[in-house]
Structure 1
Amino acid sequence: MSDTTVTSSSIRNLIKANIRNYSMVLMLALIMIIFSFLTDGVNLNSRNFTNIFMQNSYILLLAVGMVLVIIVGNIDLSVGSVAAFIGAISAMLYNSGANMFVTILLSIILGVLIGAFQGAWIAYAKIPAFIVTLAAQLLFRGLTYIITNVSPISLRDDNFKQIASGMANINVLTINGVYYTALVAGVVVFLIYVVLEIQGRRNKIKYGFKVSPMSFFIIKLLVIGLLIFGLSQRFATYRGIPIVVIVLGVTIIFFSFITNNTVIGRYIYAVGGNARSAKLSGINSELVVFVVQLIMGGLTGLAGVVFTGYMNSALPQAGNNFELDAIAACFIGGASASGGIGTVIGAIVGGLVMAAINNGMSLMNIQAQWQYVVKALVLLLAVFYDIYTRRKTGLG
């Protein structure tokens, strides 16, 4: 009887501790199901799934960097303007004769340099991130207007847009219009995920941390596996794997590994949890904040290239509200406004929640102004949910 009570109590505590991590996944599934009825299933077809990722890839890339910024307790309001600026520079580089690889590499390097510029002010000059990034938002918006002369920059050919809307050359295993390469890729991604999860579980057990019961762990792997295979099946039955999905997947896996399995990842959470305590523990808090801004800058550069490719031109007004969409994705995905809490996967799920809502309302021909209203309410409720659950679980 006593053992049963302890087990029940442990399960309840486990559910409370993880409800914030998985509730948005359930919410995303619920949103897709609701819109499937409202759109007669159009939102679930393979073409629409591919379009969702293509149309929101740059926001998801920004969300990966933004969640790290939020975890350390900061915010970045400049990413939209910086993405527009780097997008314009990338178009100029490409039009001058640079190949695609060089253009992307130089754009990312430029983003890192911009991140270093902002990081120096934030980390070492001790100016609040809100002020620094607000100033940078105005600065790089103005510079974008100057270098573009407030006119779009057309690209010399259509090769540039392949990164945003092209299909990967690995789509070679095709039979009767089904791209089986996508299914194979889904299996590979799932196996990588399983290996990382098992390794993470073993490390937690090794260092004495609490882990979920094996049955819960297996159920979690099966659910994630179903999601991965479902998505790969959608790609397989349309045009195969988009290039931007591969770019996004590599980015997610890389930064998930960094946050979960490296020293710098632990330092990021420590600084966000309590910067003063982290400093007293020997962590160079300033360097951690600086590195996070470098990462944010690099991902902003990549996002700028992707958006320029998606539009097939560099627009002077590009990037409007990108920072708000990225921030919203992080908070909806479980990041805490007070710092110290958040995950890369959570930010991606949050971004997909917003993307699914936008896509569903667009398919229903709902006017743009009402879409803004719905997005605002979703963000407000997500932050309220964060505060509420932190109080209930004793974290706030």
Structure 2
Amino acid sequence: MNAIDSVRDVLTRNMRQSGIVIAFVVIVAIFAVLHPSFLSPGNLTNIVLQYSYILILAIGMVMIIVAGQIDLSVGSVVALTGAVSAVVVIRNGMPWWVGVLAALFVGLLVGMWQGFWVAYVGIPGFIVTLAGMLIFRGLTFLVLDNASLSPFGGTYYNIANGFLNGLFGGYGFDVFTLVIFAIGVAGYAVSQWRSRRGKIAYQQQVESMPLFVTKLVVVAAVVMWFGYQLSISRGLPIVLIILAVLIIAYALVTQNSVFGRHVYAVGGNRHAAELSGVKVKRVNFWIFVNMGVLASVAGVVYSSRMNGAQPGAGNMFELDAIAACFIGGASTTGGVGRVGGAVIGGLIMAVMSNGMQLMGVPQSTQQVVKGLVLLLAVAFDIWNKRRASVVR
């Protein structure tokens, strides 16, 4: 293989992942040109606050999809867990953390309920979670007695609306926010360097050092610019910290743990996974338990953002989460998908929604655009598989 072929191979080996990043950059650039305030500090902060719960759902959903399953109930679980928190905190006057724990416990029970039917009874996840979507929505109405509950106020309200700022002082910008982002950039650089060294040790192809350094510099510049925009607005959103912890944790679990490898094995070839000793039923059970817990986290964040609970909360959230995963590179047949890709897919959905809202695009048109983007993403997945099979 000559030098040109090596470069081409490195650039195209992960076309799905690199392509979605390029698409994200293009979409951001388009809205930045069409609406001057799109990249303003205030609007960037609003994007983080308004769409964080979709990204949380996408983190769990990508594991479900990688395993070859689907979960249609997460929107209803968001509503139910938010309702439970509201009843505990608002109606019964309990501390905010009791409401959070109650929501997480309900999410755990929901995940165990659905995981049992999928893993040990053998009912397809589509059917189980379709039933769950109806069951948990009905339970939400019962818990709230068909009425909204508000406001939370206090610490609970700050979960999705609060900011950390002023801890290190400020000079027209929040120093603490920039320090946190700088630590994140340093951590990313170290992880990429270790990954590169690992590939070299196993004699795998890597990009040239100049290209590697350029990639790190570009990522660092973009991340620090984003951090600066937040620092001159209201500081570091608390919900962004929660989201960052979840992304890092689940990226490590899916890529560097035995359980993560088992999830990919089950989605890639269930029969082969069973023959290899993978406990398929156990894997399917725990991915639904995990999804239930993450849906409850999203329920807490959403109810905090709305400062209350409504019977209709979380409507269509499951479709946004599923769309984020497929747009981010997950395969419709399972076995393929990454947490990072799902997050980027979710950001694309968030950017499109926010940008179209700023431009005054009707809600009906927004739904059409989102549907077309999802259709194109899945079409690209199918085309890419056919192209790969022809090459082989």
The alignment's TM-score, normalised by the length of structure 2, stands at 0.95
Match of 1:265 among 234, 257, 260: 260
Q: CA deviation at 1:207?
A: 4.5
Q: Where do 1:146-225 residues align within 5 Å?
A: 146-168=142-164, 171-207=166-202, 209-225=204-220
1:321 aligns with 2:326: no
Q: Where do 1:331-346 residues align within 5 Å?
A: 331-346=326-341
Matched with 2:288 is 293
* Deviating more after overlay: 295-304 vs 9-18: 9-18
Matched with 2:98 is 102
* Structure 1 residues 382 and 304: CA distance shift in structure 2, 3 A: same
Matched with 1:11 is 7
Q: CA deviation at 1:214?
A: 3.5
Q: Contact 1:83–1:300 at 8 Å: present in 2 too?
A: yes
Between the aligned partners of 1:341 and 1:72, the Cα distance in structure 2 is 9
Q: Contact 1:17–1:393 at 8 Å: present in 2 too?
A: no
The runs of 4+ residues in structure 1 deviating greater than 6 Å are none
Between the aligned partners of 1:188 and 1:386, the Cα distance in structure 2 is 35
Q: Contact 1:88–1:315 at 8 Å: present in 2 too?
A: yes
Structure 1: tracts of 5 or more residues without a match: none
Give aligned-pair identity as a percent: 44
User: Which digits, 9 at most, give the CA deviation of each residue in 1:292-339, with x for residues without a partner?
Assistant: 111111110000011101111100000100000000001111111111
User: Which digits, 9 at most, give the CA deviation of each residue in 1:245-268, with x for residues without a partner?
Assistant: 010011101101111111111111
* Structure 1 residues 207 and 274: CA distance shift in structure 2, 3 A: farther
Residue 334 of structure 1 aligns to a residue in which SS? coil
Q: Contact 1:158–1:312 at 8 Å: present in 2 too?
A: no
1:87 aligns with 2:87: no
Match of 1:124 among 109, 120, 124: 120
* Deviating more after overlay: 209-218 vs 132-141: 209-218
* Structure 1 residues 149 and 271: CA distance shift in structure 2, 3 A: same
1:135 aligns with 2:131: yes
1:37 aligns with 2:33: yes
State the aligned residue count: 390
Structure 2: tracts of 5 or more residues without a match: none
Residue 202 of structure 1 aligns to a residue in which SS? helix
Match of 1:66 among 55, 61, 78: 61
The alignment's TM-score, normalised by the length of structure 1, stands at 0.94
Residue 43 of structure 1 aligns to a residue in which SS? coil
User: Which digits, 9 at most, give the CA deviation of each residue in 1:213-232, with x for residues without a partner?
Assistant: 43443333223222221221
Q: CA deviation at 1:67?
A: 0.5
Partner amino acid for 2:236?
Answer: I
Partner amino acid for 1:145?
Answer: F
Between the aligned partners of 1:213 and 1:241, the Cα distance in structure 2 is 35
Q: CA RMSD in A?
A: 1.7
Q: Contact 1:65–1:299 at 8 Å: present in 2 too?
A: yes
User: Which digits, 9 at most, give the CA deviation of each residue in 1:19-68, with x for residues without a partner?
Assistant: 111111111111111111111x2000010000001000110100000001
Residue 2 of structure 2 aligns to a residue in which SS? helix
